[in-house]
Amino acid sequence: MTLPLTLVALGTVLGLFGLVGAWRGWLREAAALGGVLLAWLIVGLTGEGLIALLNRLYLIGQFIGQGGFDRPDPGELLRTLRARPLLTPAQAGWVTAGLFTALTALVYLVTHRLRARAPGLAGPLLGFGLGLLNGYLVSYVTLGQVAGLIGPGSGPLLQAHQVLERYLTGTVLLGVGLVLMTALLSTWRLSARGRRRSVSG
């Protein structure tokens, strides 16, 4: 796939995220934005540790299963098993990619239980914008993981990832600012309604 086609596909994905955000509403998408950021952080902090833990558990299981404690030279078996881990670096990438995908899906399922979108035009518009931001983050992380897994043939994907990376900081700050601004406006509207009710009462 060439870079232009990759960018078209990326734009389509972002558009779909935006439409889903407009349908779900800004509150759900704001919560999802925090969840996606948390999922990214979890994968970044625990990914390597998780792979190491799985390989260690596999090593222990294989060592016990092959009677390592009863062998005259258990060190030889350990060296052999360590040379054949459960997950190689290439396979580990698929595990971290799958972990991020699963966490992102869980975020969307959990946030969908929040209050439905408010009536009017502002809610869907804000939801569309936040949906685009969520799609941006998910695409950035996923493209980076997939490009690393494919290797030499991932040129267009890697270039698209670099395009997203160029504006990543500004996008995240924009998303956080949009969420804070929306929350402040909602709080102000609720307090204004409360004051009007108290005056009319």
Q: pLDDT of 67-126, one tens digit each? A: 877 777 777 878 888 888 887 777 777 888 888 999 999 999 999 888 765 556 667 888
| Measured distance CA(59)–CA(53) in Å, rounded | 10
Burial class (CB in 10 A: 0-12, 13-18, 19+), 174: middle
Residue 129 has pLDDT above 60, yes or no: yes
List b or e across 68-77, with b for residues whose CB sees 16 or more CB atoms inside 10 angstroms. Answer: beeeeeeeeb
Does residue 196 lie in a domain region?
Answer: no
Residue 14 has pLDDT above 80, yes or no: yes
High-pLDDT (> 90) share of the chain, %: 13
| Measured distance CA(13)–CA(5) in Å, rounded | 12
73 DSSP 8-state letter: -
- Per residue in 145-158, pLDDT (tens digit) is 777 666 655 677 77
The answer to whether 87 and 55 are in contact (CB under 8 A) is yes
Q: Tell me the whole-structure pTM to 2 decimals.
A: 0.72
Residue 59 has what pLDDT? 86
| Measured distance CA(14)–CA(140) in Å, rounded | 11
Residue 8 has what pLDDT? 83
**Amino acid letter for position 173:** L
Q: How confident is the model at residue 39 (pLDDT cuts 50, 70, 90)?
A: very high
The answer to whether 40 and 138 are in contact (CB under 8 A) is no
- How many CB atoms sit inside 10 A of residue 6's CB? 19
Residue 62 has pLDDT above 80, yes or no: yes
Q: Please give the tally of structural domains in the chain.
A: 1
Does residue 16 lie in a domain region?
Answer: yes
Residues contacting residue 38 through CB under 8 Å, at least 6 positions apart: 107
Residue 64 has pLDDT above 80, yes or no: yes
Does residue 63 lie in a domain region?
Answer: no
Closest C-alpha among 112, 103, 106, 102 to residue 27: 112
Does residue 84 lie in a domain region?
Answer: no
- Per residue in 134-143, pLDDT (tens digit) is 998 898 888 8
Does residue 101 lie in a domain region?
Answer: yes
Token pair for residue 4? 């232009």
- Per residue in 15-26, pLDDT (tens digit) is 999 999 989 888
Q: How confident is the model at residue 191 (pLDDT cuts 50, 70, 90)?
A: low
Residue 192 has pLDDT above 60, yes or no: no
Does residue 31 lie in a domain region?
Answer: yes
The overall average pLDDT reported for the chain is 79
Please provide the distance, in angstroms rounded to a whole number, between the alpha carbons at the two ends of the chain. Answer: 65
Residue 106 has what pLDDT? 95
Closest C-alpha among 135, 136, 137, 114 to residue 25: 114
Residues contacting residue 43 through CB under 8 Å, at least 6 positions apart: 96, 99, 100, 103, 141
Domain of 167, in residue numbers: 10-44+92-114+122-183
The residue that leads in pLDDT, 51 or 200, is 51
